[in-house]
Amino acid sequence: MTERPSTASSSHPFTQSSPSLRPNTSSGPGISVTSSSPTGSRTTPPPEPRRSSVASSASSPRPKAKDSSSTICRNITIYGYCRFQDKGCAFNHDPHSQKQQSGAGRGKFNVDSPSFTPATPPKKTISPGAADAAPFTPKQNHSTGLQHGFENMGLGENVYSPTRSRRRANKMKTTANAAMNAYDFTVGAPVNPYAQTGVDMFYQPQQTYQHPLNYHLYAPLAPYPQKLQPFQKNIHGFFLSDNLREELQKKADATLQTLPAVSSILPPSIEEYHQLVPLDTSNQKSAQVFGYPSWAYKAFSSEDGNAYALRRLEGFRLLNEADIRIVQRWRKVLSANIVTIHDAWTTTKFGDSSIVFAYDYHPLSKTLAETHFGPNPRYPNPTRQHQPTGPIVPEQVLWSYIVQVASALKVIHSAGLAARVIEPSKILLTSKMRIRLNCCGIFDVIHPETTRSQESVRECQQEDLTQLGRLMLSIACNTPSAVQYPQKSMEYIGRHYSIQLRDSIYYLYTGSTKNIDEYVKSIANQAFQNLDSALHYEDSLESALSRELENGRLVRLLCKFGFINERPEYDHDPRWSETGDRYYLKLFRDYVFHSVDENNNPVVDMAHVLSCLNKLDAGVDEKIMLVSRDSMNCFVVTYKELKRQVESCFQDLSKSRR
Restricted to residues 379-438, the positions that interact with ligand ATP (CB under 6 A) are 425-426, 428, 438
547 sits near ligand ATP (criterion: CB under 6 A): no
Instruction: Select from 15, 143, 275, 294 the one that contacts ligand ATP (CB under 6 A).
Output: 294
Smallest gap from residue 424 Cβ to ligand ATP (A) = 9
**Residue 360 annotated as lining a ligand binding site:** yes
Per the CB < 8 A criterion, the answer to whether 498 and 505 are in contact is: no
Instruction: Select from 313, 339, 406, 427 the one that contacts ligand ATP (CB under 6 A).
Output: 339
Geometric angle at alpha carbon 117, from 615 and 637, rounded to 5°: 25
For residue 529, CA distances in Å to 25, 154, 312, 396, 399 come to 54, 40, 38, 9, 9
Instruction: Select from 362, 582, 608, 640 the one that contacts ligand ATP (CB under 6 A).
Output: 362
Going residue by residue from 220 to 259, which x/- string records binding to ligand ATP, judged by CB under 6 A? ----------------------------------------
**Residue 425 annotated as lining a ligand binding site:** yes
Q: Which of 22, 21, 20, 27 is nearest to 123 (CA)?
A: 27
Instruction: Select from 296, 333, 418, 501 the one that contacts ligand ATP (CB under 6 A).
Output: 296
Q: How far apart are CA 23 and CA 13, in angstroms?
A: 20
Q: How far apart are CA 461 and CA 468, in angstroms?
A: 11
Q: Which of 366, 341, 345 is nearest to 355 (CA)?
A: 345
Smallest gap from residue 348 Cβ to ligand ATP (A) = 21
- Closer Cβ to ligand ATP, 308 or 639, answer by number: 308
361 sits near ligand ATP (criterion: CB under 6 A): yes
- Closer Cβ to ligand ATP, 362 or 623, answer by number: 362
286 sits near ligand ATP (criterion: CB under 6 A): yes
Instruction: Select from 187, 289, 527, 606 the one that contacts ligand ATP (CB under 6 A).
Output: 289
Edge-first strand order for the sheet with 8-9 is 8-9, 633-638, 623-627
Query: For 228, how many CA atoms within 13 A lie in the half-sphere containing its CB?
Result: 11
Smallest gap from residue 253 Cβ to ligand ATP (A) = 14
Q: Which of 589, 641, 624 is nearest to 175 (CA)?
A: 624
Q: How far apart are CA 332 and CA 34, in angstroms?
A: 70
Please state the three-class secondary structure of 34-77 as a single string.
CEECCCCCEECCCCCCCCCHHHHHHCCCCCCCCCHHHCECHHHH
Per the CB < 8 A criterion, the answer to whether 610 and 543 are in contact is: no
Sign of CA dihedral 12, 16, 17, 18: negative
Smallest gap from residue 259 Cβ to ligand ATP (A) = 14
- Window of 68-76, 365-373, 383-391, 605-613 that interacts with ligand ATP by CB under 6 A: 365-373
Q: How far apart are CA 521 and CA 126, in angstroms?
A: 69
Smallest gap from residue 369 Cβ to ligand ATP (A) = 6
- Closer Cβ to ligand ATP, 178 or 338, answer by number: 338
Instruction: Select from 79, 183, 357, 359 the one that contacts ligand ATP (CB under 6 A).
Output: 359
Smallest gap from residue 287 Cβ to ligand ATP (A) = 8
280 sits near ligand ATP (criterion: CB under 6 A): yes
User: Quick one: how far is CA 28 from the chain centroid?
Assistant: 46
Per the CB < 8 A criterion, the answer to whether 395 and 497 are in contact is: yes
- Closer Cβ to ligand ATP, 218 or 359, answer by number: 359
* Site residues for ligand ATP per CB under 6 A: 279-281, 286, 288-289, 294, 296, 309, 339, 359-362, 365-367, 369-370, 425-426, 428, 438
List, as residue ranges, the binding site for ATP: 311, 360-367, 425-426
